[in-house]
Amino acid sequence: MNPARPGPAVTTKPKLSAKAERFTESVIREMTRLALKYGAVNLSQGFPDFPAPAEIKEAAKQAIDADLNQYAITWGAKRFRDAIAQKFERTQGVAVDPEREITVCCGSTEAMMSSMMAIINPGDEVVVFEPFYENYGPDAILSGATPRFVKLRAPDWTFDPDELAAAFGPATKAIILNTPNNPTGKVFERAEFECIRDLCVRWNAFAITDEIYEHMLYDGARHISLASVEGMRERTITINALSKTYSVTGWRVGWAIAPPDVTSAIRKVHDFLTVGAAAPLQEAGAVAMHFSEEYYATLAREYAARRDRLMGILTGAGFRCFKPRGAYYIMTDISAFGFPDDVSFARYLVKDIGVAAVPGSSFYQDPADGSTHLRFTFCKTEKTFQAAAERLAKLKF
Ligand SMILES: Cc1ncc(COP(=O)(O)O)c(C=O)c1O
């Protein structure tokens, strides 16, 4: 017998994980790749094309020069966790213990995944508002949760309280929500939170809130952290990150704030998934958390101007726009263009017109529900808007 030539395998089994087979690669990030391929103006993925604040970059450089280049504490550098706790109390009035209630992760993406893996058991359900940020689908699959979708309906993206109540039940482990919301621009109101709170209490469920756009607010909208609503402090996991607020999406620094017993489970998952987030960038994050209120006011003002600029361009080109009250996306209705669906229109737009946007179907479980929508981002410079305007002027409707 030749040991170098083994015989045929004696068992057959699936080559790949059944979980990994159940979702596709990110449509949003695919659009960015198509934008690069066709030289299109990229209004798809939500990353700014302007510089991050000089102070945060300087702080990162200083941290590297000071040789803060080894692993930070797995659940986050103390100075950074202290600063996160101070900011949460200053802005939302919620006091948290940085020693027992904060886990710093590799972006809010990992904070969400670690949180879900920390609380989900087989058979658990999670309620998810739809349209939803596309990561929540794979997050549910990978953590083993069954999603129950509840519609946010245009033009105001409100939900029907009866529909929400019907989605909750004994198997509900958590509700996932994102405010200010991607892709709709909805900013959840206190009365909506009280309705959600009552259901979470009734069914003993967690709320996982993704608050990554907390400072991008327009037309007097106010961000409320669900953890600040009476009765929710002990059952809310608050997810946030440096990514959007400080224009550093590539740094991959985020965090989860949760009660101590939940945090200890999140920390264990996080430790074995990634060990920790970039140590010098956490030091820079500590500096950023102490930026003055003026920084956040300017950020919101500048984004409001960008929103209005892109609304003008899109409306002029024939899109019906749903005006966002927060975050940095505009959801549009594309019915006027007469294409069969959002994907074919997005492909035409990126290839023939030279502008990349995200097909609405990527935010819905059933693609048909998003087939008349396209999402554009406005975290871009005037130069980008100008180029987009010139190209979109070629559109016929
Ligand atoms: C709602 C929402 N959550 C999370 C993320 C990703 O955040 P991070 O870069 O911190 O992982 C995004 C990015 O677009 C987002 O829109």
CA of 59 to the centre of ligand 1 (A): 23
How far apart are the CA of 241 and the centre of ligand 1, in A?
8
The radius of gyration of the chain from alpha carbons, rounded to an integer in Å, stands at 22
Q: Is the CB of residue 354 below 6 angstroms from any atom belonging to ligand 1?
A: no
Ligand 1: centre distance to CA 366 (Å): 22
Q: How does DSSP classify residue 25? A: P
What pTM value is reported for the model? 0.95
Contact between 356 and 37 under an 8 Å Cβ cutoff? The reply is no
Residues 6+ apart with CB under 8 A from 20: none
Residues contacting 123, CB < 8 A, separation 6+ = 146, 171
Residue 107 Cβ < 6 Å to ligand 1: yes
Query: What is the length of the chain?
Result: 397
Cβ of 58: how many Cβ atoms within 10 Å? 12
Looking up tokens 């990030």 gives 29
Instruction: Check: CB of residue 355 under 8 Å from CB of residue 391.
Output: yes
Q: Which atom of ligand 1 is nearest to the CA of 47?
A: 14
pLDDT in tens, 171-207: 999 999 999 999 999 999 999 999 999 999 999 999 9
For 357-391, b where at least 16 C-beta lie within 10 A, e where not — what string? bbbbbbbbeeeebbbbbbbbbbbbeeebbebbbeb
Instruction: Give me 285's structure tokens.
Output: 């994050």
Predicted local confidence at residue 25, as pLDDT: 79
Cα 373 to Cα 355: distance, rounded to the nearest angstrom: 15
Q: Is the CB of 109 under 6 A from ligand 1?
A: yes
Q: Cα(388)–Cα(106) distance, rounded to whole angstroms?
A: 32
Nearest CA owner, ligand 1 atom 14: 46
**What order of strands is seen across the sheet that includes strand 102-105?**
102-105, 254-257, 236-241, 206-210, 172-178, 125-130, 146-151
**Per-residue pLDDT, 171:** 98
- Ligand 1 atom at minimal distance to the Cα of residue 253: 10
Residue pLDDT, tens place only, 357-369: 999 999 999 999 9
Beta carbons within 10 angstroms of residue 72's beta carbon: 22
Query: Ligand 1 centre from 111 Cα, in Å?
Result: 10
Nearest CA to ligand 1 atom 13: 46
Spatial strand order of the sheet with 373-377 comes to 320-322, 329-333, 373-377, 358-359
Please write the tens of the pLDDT for every residue from 214-262. Answer: 999 999 999 999 999 999 999 999 999 999 999 999 999 999 999 999 9
pLDDT in tens, 266-286: 999 999 999 999 999 999 999
Contact 300, 162 (CB under 8 A): no
The pick from 31, 133, 223, 377 for probing ligand 1's pocket by mutation, whose C-beta has the most ligand atoms within 8 angstroms, reads: 133
pLDDT digits (tens, 9 = 90+) for 125-157: 999 999 999 999 999 999 999 999 999 999 999
Choose which residue among 182, 214, 270, 274 to substitute to test ligand 1 binding: the one with the highest number of ligand atoms within 8 A of its C-beta: 182
The pLDDT, as a whole number, for residue 3 is 58
The span from the CA of 35 to the CA of 347, in Å, is 10
